[in-house]
Amino acid sequence: MAELALEPRPFFTGRGPHDPGLAVFLNAGDPGPPEVFAALLLALDDAGVDCVELAVPFPDSVTDGPVIRRSARRALDNGADLAATLRLLAQVRPRMRHTAVALLADWRHTVAPLGPPEFLLRARDSGADAVLVHGAPPRARPRCLEAADRIGQPMVTTCYARSEPAVLEEAARTASAYLYLVAHYGRTGAAAVQPASLGPVLTRLRKLTDAPLAVGFGVRGAADIAALGRQGADAAVVGTALVARLEQAVLAGEDPVVEARACVADLLISTSDTSNGRKP
């Protein structure tokens, strides 16, 4: 596959003070078929989403709750393997005017079988603005980061709010796209985010990196996003809340693309002035 000639796209920039950006998580291929999912990505771009964390589906994720796990199973049943995900990305990413795409892939299921250099090269050449490797063992992380640096592929690093100081420092030092701060231990969708508790760790991380700080796990609505902005987050990541609405729309025989637009509009309403929501 020839490398796509795309300009690098910044993450979560251009917002006002305490006005965090929005990232959303989706499993590639859910909802399907491919033309519906492509229309969904373009609708999210048009609606003003800053980043889509686009997962290469894999089964039985230990970090995901039932909503995301059902989504991954539907995507796999729709044939959304790595090759199909990269084809979709290569077709749609050049048509997206605003939204960046962070390709999320599981170490064991997707990255390790190919090896980090080959996987990262394929991701870059398909148009990924960043890569997030899920579940990489500590010994593998340096290899991933070195391979990414050699080809100029920005990387998302992760840590938990209660990670040890050395883990926080490593995540901050090595983030070249953005740092994903996981708000709490457990599975996606299991508990609501508590923004006030995250202020100290966001302050600490801000002193360690210039990379944007995105918070996920338990972000359910506009009030959460606004509160995270007040605590110093550059962005919020919404996964289960969006995927659940898309699932419900499909089950009800409704258009998931229309539902996605409605969900994003709800998430981007300013809680300080509901008459002046953010516009793309």
Q: Check residue 192 and give its pLDDT.
A: 84
CATH of 21-267, one of 3.40.1390.10, 3.90.230.10, 3.60.15.10, 3.20.20.70: 3.20.20.70
pLDDT tens for each residue of 88-135: 999 999 999 999 999 999 999 999 999 999 999 999 999 999 999 999
Q: Which of 53, 170, 224, 247 is catalytic?
A: 53
Q: Which of 64, 106, 224, 259 is catalytic?
A: 64
Tally DSSP H helices, then E strands, for the chain.
11, 8
Please report the beta strands in the chain, taking only residues with DSSP state E, as ranges in sequence order: 21-27, 51-55, 100-106, 130-134, 156-160, 178-182, 213-216, 235-238
State the average pLDDT over residues 20-33: 96
Residue 71's closest CA among 209, 199, 240, 270? 240
- Residue 64: pLDDT over 70: yes
Length of the chain, in residues: 280
SS3 17: coil
Q: Give the span between the Cα atoms of 215 and 44, in whole angstroms.
A: 19
Q: 277 vs 60, which has greater pLDDT?
A: 60
Whole-number average pLDDT of the chain: 91
Residue 214's closest CA among 138, 156, 153, 130? 156
Structure token digits, residue 165? 């100081």
- Residue 275: pLDDT over 60: no
Q: Give the span between the Cα atoms of 102 and 190, in whole angstroms.
A: 23
pLDDT tens for each residue of 134-184: 999 999 999 999 999 999 999 999 999 999 999 999 999 999 999 999 998
- Residue 274: pLDDT over 50: no
In the residue annotation, 259 being an active-site residue is answered as no
In the residue annotation, 53 being an active-site residue is answered as yes
Q: Give the span between the Cα atoms of 202 and 89, in whole angstroms.
A: 32
Q: Give the span between the Cα atoms of 233 and 199, in whole angstroms.
A: 9
Phi, psi (degrees; rounded to nearest 5) at 275: -85, -5
109: DSSP letter = I
- Residue 279: pLDDT over 50: no
